[in-house]
Amino acid sequence: MSAYIPAGNRYESMLYNRCGKSGIRLSAISLGLWHNFGSIDNFENGRQIVRRAFDRGITHFDLANNYGPVPGSAEENFGSILRKDFTGHLRDELVISTKAGYLMWPGPYGDWGSRKYLLSSLDQSLKRMKLDYVDIFYSHRPDPNTPIEETMGALDTVVRQGKALYVGLSNYNAEQTKAALAVLKSLGTPCLIHQPKYSMFERWVEGGLLDVLGENGVGCIPFSPLAQGLLTDRYLKGIPEGSRASKPSGFLKAEHITDARLNQIRQLNDIAQKRGQSLAQMALAWLLKDERVTTVLIGASSVEQLDNNLGSLNNVQFSEEELKEIEKILA
Total length of the chain = 331
Is the peptide bond between 196 and the residue preceding it cis, with omega within 30 degrees of 0? no
Q: Do the beta carbons of residue 288 and residue 316 sit within 8 Å?
A: yes
pLDDT at 1: 77
pLDDT at 258: 87
Torsion angle of C-alpha atoms 194, 147, 189, 161, degrees rounded to 10:
-110
Beta bridge partners of 277: none
pLDDT at 265: 96
Give the chain's residues under pLDDT 70. 238-254
Give the other-Cβ count within 10 Å of 83's Cβ: 11
Q: Could you tell me the CA-to-CA distances from 172 to 69, 95, 197, 208, 251 in Å, in that order?
A: 25, 22, 10, 12, 19
Q: 3-class SS at 126?
A: helix
pLDDT at 244: 59
DSSP assignment string, 93-121: G-EEEEEE-S--SSSTTSSTT-HHHHHHH
pLDDT tens sequence across 186-225: 999 999 999 999 999 999 999 999 999 999 999 999 999 9
Q: CA–CA separation, 289 vs 110, rounded Å? A: 38
Q: Do the beta carbons of residue 136 and residue 122 sit within 8 Å?
A: no
Nearest alpha carbon to residue 272 among 285, 258, 259, 289: 285
What's the whole-model pTM score?
A: 0.94
pLDDT at 308: 96
Quote the distance between the C-alpha of residue 211 and its chain's center.
20
Q: Do the beta carbons of residue 66 and residue 105 sit within 8 Å?
A: no
For each of the domains in the chain, give its residue range(s) and CATH number, in order of start. Answer: 16-227+290-316 (3.20.20.100)
Go through 279-298 and write b for each residue having 16 or more CB atoms within 10 A of its CB, e for each that does not.
bbbbbbbbbbeeebbbbbbb
Half-sphere exposure of 244 (CA within 13 A, CB side): 18
Q: Do the beta carbons of residue 24 and residue 192 sit within 8 Å?
A: yes
Q: For the chain, state the CA radius of gyration.
A: 19
Q: Could you tell me the CA-to-CA distances from 221 to 74, 84, 143, 192, 199 in Å, in that order?
A: 20, 28, 21, 11, 11
Q: What is the DSSP letter of 2?
A: P
Q: Could you tell me the CA-to-CA distances from 313 to 12, 13, 48, 284 in Å, in that order?
A: 12, 9, 21, 8
